[in-house]
């Protein structure tokens, strides 16, 4: 099979929890071995046959469809797809008709969580969050332009160190919509997902045109604690930075994001 659904981001926005919820649905078939295949961002050179090999067979889908009366859909979750400048065009080319889900979260909390996550994984040697976001501009300078120019180029900092940039959600959603029909993109507020998972998941199933089947896992997964709270002065400064970006999200969410209500 090839996937009919991708969770494309954002990073540290509840994608793992939504992935687990979807994977517990009997006709939503996850990629084999890995939550995220990272084909359209860092592994595109490996080819479509390599990508297809990560998903269940059509025979498996037929058996499940015969048992449930519902045609299965395969999916994967690679949050870097939202941010890689070549990913959207690649997705549109190789998966015409695919549906995409993007989760958004308070961008200040997202950035702080992202930094803690990269430090814990050994991908960030600047332990201090303020220092890391101060270095972000220099680290990312010219990297997106080079990724656009050179299909074989890989940028470690672009993948791992875009703490502030990745909270500019509307920029990435608008770019995605240049290649994917807007009606094929569902934007979810992770704050709503965690406070009312059943209602949010119902909107996901309507988007996918699937019925409720079986017991759905609504646990919170991949949460990571931080050694100390974000200083209030820095939180306020970052919140002010994101205010115009958050306003642009209203057209995607249909309402103000939860952290601005």
Mean pLDDT of the chain: 95
pLDDT exceeding 90 applies to what percent of the chain? Answer: 92
Residue 33 pLDDT class (50, 70, 90 cuts): confident
Give the Cα separation of 66 and 13 in Å (integer).
35
pLDDT at residue 226, rounded to an integer:
65
E-strand ranges in the chain read: 5-9, 28-30, 73-77, 99-104, 185-189
What does the pLDDT average to over 120-131?
96
pLDDT at 217: 81
pLDDT in tens, 212-228: 998 888 877 666 566 67
Over the stretch 133-145, which tens digit does the pLDDT of each residue have?
999 999 999 999 9
**CB 8 within 8 Å of CB 176:** yes
Task: Output the pLDDT for position 225.
Answer: 63
Q: Predicted confidence band at 229 (pLDDT cuts at 50, 70, 90)?
A: confident
What's the pLDDT at 8?
96
| pLDDT confidence bin for 205, thresholds 50/70/90 | very high
The residue-averaged pLDDT of 196-220 equals 91
Does residue 107 have a cis peptide bond before it, meaning omega lies within 30 degrees of 0? no
| Torsion angle (degrees, nearest 10) of CA 39, 3, 31, 104 | 80
Question: What domains are defined for the chain?
Answer: 5-260 (3.40.50.300)
First to last CA, the chain: 41
Q: What is the pLDDT of residues 43-102, one digit of tens each?
A: 999 999 999 999 999 999 999 999 999 999 999 999 999 999 999 999 999 999 999 999
CB neighbour list of residue 70: distance below 8 Å, 6 or more residues apart: 27, 210, 211, 213
Residues 2, 57: Cα–Cα separation, whole Å: 9
pLDDT of residue 218: 83
pLDDT at residue number 190? 96
Distance CA 204, CA 240 (A): 31
């Amino acid at each position: 099979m090839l996937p009919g659904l991708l969770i494309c981001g954002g990073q540290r926005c509840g994608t793992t929890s939504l992935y687990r919820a979807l994977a517990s649905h009997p006709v939503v078939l996850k990629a084999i071995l890995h939550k995220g295949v990272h084909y359209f961002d860092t592994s595109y050179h490996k080819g479509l046959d390599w990508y297809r090999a990560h998903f269940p067979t059509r025979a498996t889908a037929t058996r499940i469809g015969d048992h449930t009366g519902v045609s299965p859909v395969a999916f994967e979750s690679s949050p870097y797809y939202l941010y890689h400048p070549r990913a959207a065009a690649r997705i549109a080319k190789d998966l015409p008709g695919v549906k995409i889900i993007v989760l958004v979260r308070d961008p200040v909390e997202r950035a702080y969580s992202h930094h803690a996550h990269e430090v814990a994984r050994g991908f960030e040697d600047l332990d201090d969050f303020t220092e890391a976001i101060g270095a972000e501009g220099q680290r990312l300078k010219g990297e997106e332009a080079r990724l656009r120019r050179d299909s074989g180029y890989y940028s470690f900092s672009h993948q791992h160190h875009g703490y502030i940039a990745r909270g500019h959600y509307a920029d990435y959603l608008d770019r995605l919509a240049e290649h994917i029909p807007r009606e094929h993109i569902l934007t979810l507020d992770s704050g709503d997902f965690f406070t009312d998972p059943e209602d949010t998941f119902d909107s996901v199933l309507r988007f996918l045109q699937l019925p409720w089947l079986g017991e759905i896992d609504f646990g919170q997964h991949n949460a990571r604690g931080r050694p100390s709270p974000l200083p209030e002065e820095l939180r306020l400064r970052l919140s002010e930075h994101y205010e115009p970006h958050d306003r642009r999200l209203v057209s995607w969410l249909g309402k103000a994001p939860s952290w601005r209500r």
